[in-house]
Structure 1
């Protein structure tokens, strides 16, 4: 699995609008992306911390294909949307181990 994280510094006064627009974009542009299994948006638990968005792809190749896709272009087309001007840091990781505990 290939995991992408994006740490997004969103000012507190635009956080509510950012969440709404970001989640709406996730729902409208990511359904059916080949190799994409899961995406999340995590709200920071304390002031001063960034939001974190994750995407879990089957492979790096699936991620790179998404970067060239209409889905990517559409999800990043509104540069005036809340949070689009916020500083962010994209990180790429290969999953080594995934442990699921039964409850």
Structure 2
């Protein structure tokens, strides 16, 4: 399963029980010290966005199972929002 499993694991671990902002802050605490994990996260989320643009039901189901999105567009926007917030916080963390 590869990046799909990584995407599901990361979403459940950091975002299923708290806000996006809180999840991103917690994730950045891990990734700012571990470039490999940072790259894994970005690969998973970017691959998820690409797959949703192609209508991949597996990725939709991964997101919908915990976040109840209504459409592929909503799922894609959800991942894009996560990615954008994450990149902003990550860049702030590594610059400090």
Q: TM-score normalized by structure 1?
A: 0.32
Greater RCO (Cα-Cα under 8 Å, separation 6 or more): 1
More strand by share: 1
Which one has the largest radius of gyration? Answer: 1
